[in-house]
Structure 1
Amino acid sequence: MPLNETFTFEPEREGAGSLPLLSDPVTIASGQVLSRLTLVGRVTATRKVIKSVKTATDGSEKPVGFLAVDVDATGADTDAPVYKFGVFDSGAIVIDASWTLSEVRAAFDRSPIFIRTPLEL
């Protein structure tokens, strides 16, 4: 018996251009719950990744990319992929309030990460 259902495909919003999204595995430091597309930085002393806060002084103030998945690392360090290449929709990324969009764009200057508004796509 044929199904008489209609489905609408809605692609994820993170990839905003024709470039592929490429990720690398990283270790997320314990004690965090982070959403997909959160801006992250690497703590110099531990080499672990946490949410990037512009005013930090532990190395994480230098963004390394955007989380590719939701992460719950409340109980232990967790491995997760981080996007390090691609075009991202400015309305989809998650940045700490210490950052402005212009500052995040500048942080990725000369890198393969591009942040665009819908009008720039």
Structure 2
Amino acid sequence: MPDFGTVENRTLFAGTEIPAMTSSVTVLAGQGVLKTGSILGKVTADGKYKLVNKASADGSQVASVVLAEDLDTTGADQVAVVYTSGLFNADSLSVAAGDTVEAHKEELRDGNIYIKTEY
């Protein structure tokens, strides 16, 4: 019998009230594998994106987009599809260790990305 993989109970979107818009960005190398739903911030110096971290001081401490696909940044910068707007489930999003999705809720809202925490 063929192996069709596993089904993960994780829904990225929390509704359709806010249209999901996409764009492409360059994601900085050296972050390993980033999963769909990773929240990214833009590095001011070079315009590339990396996993948002409130402890950073390079611009990436401000959340701006949500990664739309799994991405391996181990060896080189990668071009990736990201969501620039939409309504997302909080438990499907991720940020750097020591940071929280909740800490970036307002700045994401300013960019038309909304996070639903109550179901």
Superposition TM-score tier, normalisation by shorter sequence = 0.7 to 0.9
Q: How far apart, in 2, do the equivalents of 1:77 and 1:54 lie?
A: 22
Aligned length: 111
Aligned to 1:38: 38
The structure-2 alpha-carbon separation of the partners of 1:92 and 1:45, relative to structure 1 and needing over 3 Å to count, comes to: same
Alpha-carbon displacement from aligned partner over 1:29-67 (angstroms, at most 9, x marks no partner): 111221111011111111111111001000100111110
Q: How far apart, in 1, do the equivalents of 2:117 and 2:94 lie?
A: 14
Q: Which runs of 5+ in 1 are unaligned?
A: 1-8
Q: What's the TM-score once normalised by structure 1's chain length?
A: 0.81
Aligned to 2:24: 25
Aligned to 2:4: none
SS in 1 for 2:102: helix
Q: How far apart, in 1, do the equivalents of 2:115 and 2:72 lie?
A: 25
User: Is the 2:90–2:101 contact (alpha carbons within 8 Å) kept by the matching residues of 1?
Assistant: yes
Aligned to 1:14: 12
Q: 1:11: how far off?
A: 9.0
Alpha-carbon displacement from aligned partner over 1:9-32 (angstroms, at most 9, x marks no partner): 989611111133211100011112
Q: 1:108: how far off?
A: 1.8
Alignment of 1:1-121 (within 5 A): 13-18=11-16, 19-32=18-31, 33-119=33-119
| Partner AA of 2:92 in structure 1 | A
Q: How far apart, in 2, do the equivalents of 1:101 and 1:36 lie?
A: 14
User: Is the 2:93–2:101 contact (alpha carbons within 8 Å) kept by the matching residues of 1?
Assistant: no
SS in 1 for 2:109: coil
Q: 1:97: how far off?
A: 3.4
Q: What's the TM-score once normalised by structure 2's chain length?
A: 0.83
- Return 104-113 or 50-59, whichever deviates more: 104-113
Runs of 4+ in 1 over 3 A off after TM superposition: 9-12
Identity %: 33
The structure-2 alpha-carbon separation of the partners of 1:74 and 1:109, relative to structure 1 and needing over 3 Å to count, comes to: same
Q: 1:75: how far off?
A: 1.1
